[in-house]
Structure 1
């Protein structure tokens, strides 16, 4: 029996490796790429902050990824919408996010995580940089890394959001943003099982935009492994307003200027927010442009935002009684996403990835008021020890099995009719979501919408057959 148990155990362990997980995405030059196939990854996403400011209440155990029932509903709607990435702004690293993250992972949706929050000592204060850049603050950012580092669908971390939003903050904040990026990347290198990209989300302030990108994407002293260098650059842009607005075209919106500005980028550039609502309802006629002639430079974008709030940027309205209703913006965005050619978007642009990052120099800065010193503040006392030892008693997230797929909360269409049989479709291992039911896979297979249940049965059947064959073989010895 001892001879028999070892091969059976081996087969069981082999079968256990079939896990529902997307492939990691990494930065390669100016692109995000699939870590297995090296296919280019274009962000087709939405900003996700359920409940707005009320959706983040750590004292009550609430943050955007703390309620699996709500995440299941939202994942089903996002999967149908065609997104492959969400951005989450405010998170409590001490809460359990396993259910929500596992659901989004199961439907092939990645996450871009902001490490800051509006609570005291949990973000850089542009008006008080030296004191806000503290051990307490960095302990919080590292705790967020700990909470999300083990999830395969963690695409990256934003070290800061719009800290440089005026000419004045462009004069003072840049070294601190690079310092925080450095510290987070040092922590990841020491404490994470894989390298996870860290970057910045910039305000669209024309006077400092080019300098912000140039300052954050260069290598200090020519060090190609400089940890303070941003791995990616996000831009919160609302310059395209359509369809009747005078800015609803490639030139008037300034999109052509962005392509010229970032044409020689050495890191991925994408819209970390977009979707002007000066003209309502939004028709998102910028989508074919963003994923068309801009893909030689841009890596996609995230529409602001999923939940409807008082600012009227939402795609879906949610009510206190648990019901929700799609808005016309949801339908309009879905129609635009459905026109995209996912396979074409995956094609690599080898010329973009070949661009080497420049060495940091004051000559990169074009405006006189922007900071051109690349001497960064030293990490606060105790940070090096924190990096070496890791956050004490850190909450480390892990994927869990997703068993429920049917949405139990009522969801209504734009016309007001109840959407029946709304459910998530768990994708086979290694696939990510895409528009119009398309998925991308590391195996090179054709796009499909195969349910994980079916895939699981196939895999279980194969594993069971293999195990039985080995058992019979050994019994016949």
Structure 2
């Protein structure tokens, strides 16, 4: 992903007369198909995230003026899909989504938002994040042109952040289950950053193990093909294509379009939609539609304004897309012969016990735990300064006592009983743990309170509470996970700090939330 501040996207409609709902796009083996016609579906899309002229939260799918302006361009380009990174689920998207539907354009929508996302440096999949994602699913699942969800975009981007992928995979597991429980079958996938050192481990990891936790499709964000002098071979596209041969789920380029040479002429489309790649990849999404500070746009637009100016890239993309005529296979003739991948093993570039996932969050369990505390936060809504002070305190406390109940160690497959609670709830648990030993509840810079007679007498019954998918809470962990504390977890957090340049083992151990005061402070900066 080439921009850090994700914005919401809006799309509109140009056809006044009502049309029937778009045909359902389904997955069979490693390909997408139009369920009605049986024709193979190839993505011809753009990343749609206009940010100019926006005040407050970004949501172009709630801007009918921008939607009407841009959908005319989408049709002129011959697009069939757009990718949107962020929306505000509380806003009305009916008008834009209907305009998109009438124009024959499908939506690929990212589940995370800047505030509710899995942090690669301090990863957790918790009740708060899952709750927000569920609301987004509820808001958009009614639209027939919602084609796919993306549960993570470049979350793991180097070997030191591989532990974060365990939490993304847990999120995929839980969101797939939630979508199914609502009577929908929209696929959920992941988009990686094409890092050569971890690429194959990620590709294998998101397609191994239990089908319920595997990604439904895999996306690659790639920016290697730079200019007309680059070729299929020299760009590295050939190697990327070989990596996906015999992959059992669909793959596509979820971002592409190197801008080192401008105007861009998009020579990679000839390979992407031609015989070099179209038997392996299901097309792709060009980055990006609107011209922003990063200089990737094909048009210049502003939120709520009908004016549009085309950049030098526009006609070149239009020409390249017009020439792209991928030859697919009929769904009835396609016989998948591939199997799921083998999970990666622990090593210098992989810090996850691959057969164990973090637990499904349980709001009931976390609420029960909070009701059992004798020392807790006066409020779970904190300022940035309070979050920083609390982070410092957590780092110190967990250097003196075990915080296993709210910590995790991905190399050992350990996830504490309350590790899927929100960051505020995890902090309250630590405060109470410290209070039980020191009888001190005060924290400098943070308002705390003591409770003489907690509503919940002990936490034993809390572990039996159902999770947020209504499953019985027999254990604290996800599939195959152990709730037993690893022998290294207490000692590994004794320093109260994470090592920036330690070896692989210490880097993984430092992922535990309260072994790094800075990580905690960063989490609370969101409040």
Answer yes or no: same fold by TM over 0.5.
yes
Superposed CA deviations along residues 164-211 of structure 1, whole A, max 9, x for unmatched, are 1011112x12211110001100100111x3201000011111111111
Tell me how far apart the structure 1 counterparts of residues 197 and 38 of structure 2 sit (CA, whole Å).
36
Show the counterpart of 1:261. Answer: 243
Superposed CA deviations along residues 337-368 of structure 1, whole A, max 9, x for unmatched, are 111225x346559667331224x5446x7865
Show the counterpart of 1:29. Answer: 29
Matched, 1:236 2:221: yes
SS in 1 for 2:203: helix
Tell me how far apart the structure 1 counterparts of residues 126 and 260 of structure 2 sit (CA, whole Å).
39
> Is the 8 Å Cα contact of residues 274 and 303 (structure 1) preserved in structure 2?
yes
Show the counterpart of 2:108. Answer: 112
> Is the 8 Å Cα contact of residues 111 and 150 (structure 2) preserved in structure 1?
yes
Show the counterpart of 2:63. Answer: 67
Give the alignment partner of residue 323 of structure 1, picking from 307, 313, 333: 307
Residue 313 of structure 1 deviates from its aligned partner by 0.2
Give the alignment partner of residue 363 of structure 2, picking from 382, 404, 424: 382
SS in 1 for 2:32: strand
Aligned ranges 1:301-312 → 2 under 5 Å: 301-312=284-295
Q: 1:138 to 1:206 in 2, by over 3 A?
A: same
Matched, 1:356 2:312: no
> Is the 8 Å Cα contact of residues 208 and 370 (structure 1) preserved in structure 2?
no
Matched, 1:82 2:164: no
Matched, 1:125 2:119: yes
> Is the 8 Å Cα contact of residues 158 and 198 (structure 1) preserved in structure 2?
yes
Tell me how far apart the structure 1 counterparts of residues 55 and 250 of structure 2 sit (CA, whole Å).
29
> Is the 8 Å Cα contact of residues 119 and 164 (structure 2) preserved in structure 1?
no
Superposed CA deviations along residues 83-129 of structure 1, whole A, max 9, x for unmatched, are 1010000111111100001101110000000011112xx10011221
Q: 1:350 to 1:165 in 2, by over 3 A?
A: farther
Tell me how far apart the structure 1 counterparts of residues 349 and 314 of structure 2 sit (CA, whole Å).
43
Tell me how far apart the structure 2 counterparts of residues 80 and 388 of structure 1 sit (CA, whole Å).
47
Tell me how far apart the structure 1 counterparts of residues 332 and 255 of structure 2 sit (CA, whole Å).
24
SS in 1 for 2:313: helix
Show the counterpart of 2:143. Answer: 151
Tell me how far apart the structure 1 counterparts of residues 75 and 43 of structure 2 sit (CA, whole Å).
14
> Is the 8 Å Cα contact of residues 223 and 256 (structure 2) preserved in structure 1?
yes
| Runs of at least 5 residues in structure 1 that lack an aligned partner in the other structure | 1-17, 221-225, 390-477
Q: 1:194 to 1:385 in 2, by over 3 A?
A: same
Tell me how far apart the structure 2 counterparts of residues 176 and 56 of structure 1 sit (CA, whole Å).
32
Give the alignment partner of residue 179 of structure 2, picking from 183, 188, 191: 188
| Runs of at least 5 residues in structure 2 that lack an aligned partner in the other structure | 1-17, 365-465, 472-527
Give the alignment partner of residue 335 of structure 1, picking from 299, 319, 325: 319
Show the counterpart of 2:456. Answer: none
Give the alignment partner of residue 142 of structure 1, picking from 134, 155, 161: 134
Tell me how far apart the structure 2 counterparts of residues 256 and 285 of structure 1 sit (CA, whole Å).
14
Residue 142 of structure 1 deviates from its aligned partner by 0.8
Tell me how far apart the structure 2 counterparts of residues 362 and 301 of structure 1 sit (CA, whole Å).
27
Q: 1:348 to 1:180 in 2, by over 3 A?
A: same
Tell me how far apart the structure 1 counterparts of residues 329 and 21 of structure 2 sit (CA, whole Å).
19
Residue 240 of structure 1 deviates from its aligned partner by 0.5
Show the counterpart of 1:300. Answer: 283
Aligned ranges 1:286-297 → 2 under 5 Å: 286-293=268-275, 294-297=277-280
Residue 20 of structure 1 deviates from its aligned partner by 2.3
Give the alignment partner of residue 285 of structure 1, picking from 245, 267, 281: 267
Superposed CA deviations along residues 309-358 of structure 1, whole A, max 9, x for unmatched, are 0111001012576421111211100001111225x346559667331224
Give the alignment partner of residue 207 of structure 1, picking from 173, 197, 204: 197
Tell me how far apart the structure 1 counterparts of residues 36 and 96 of structure 2 sit (CA, whole Å).
25
> Is the 8 Å Cα contact of residues 291 and 345 (structure 1) preserved in structure 2?
no
Tell me how far apart the structure 2 counterparts of residues 228 and 281 of structure 1 sit (CA, whole Å).
41
Give the alignment partner of residue 165 of structure 2, picking from 174, 178, 191: 174
Q: 1:367 to 1:83 in 2, by over 3 A?
A: farther
Matched, 1:218 2:212: no
Residue 219 of structure 1 deviates from its aligned partner by 2.5
RMSD, matched Cα: 2.2
Q: TM-score, normalised by structure 1?
A: 0.70
Q: 1:74 to 1:28 in 2, by over 3 A?
A: same
Tell me how far apart the structure 2 counterparts of residues 76 and 334 of structure 1 sit (CA, whole Å).
13
Tell me how far apart the structure 2 counterparts of residues 114 and 107 of structure 1 sit (CA, whole Å).
21
Tell me how far apart the structure 2 counterparts of residues 260 and 35 of structure 1 sit (CA, whole Å).
28
Tell me how far apart the structure 2 counterparts of residues 67 and 242 of structure 1 sit (CA, whole Å).
34
Tell me how far apart the structure 2 counterparts of residues 56 and 235 of structure 1 sit (CA, whole Å).
31
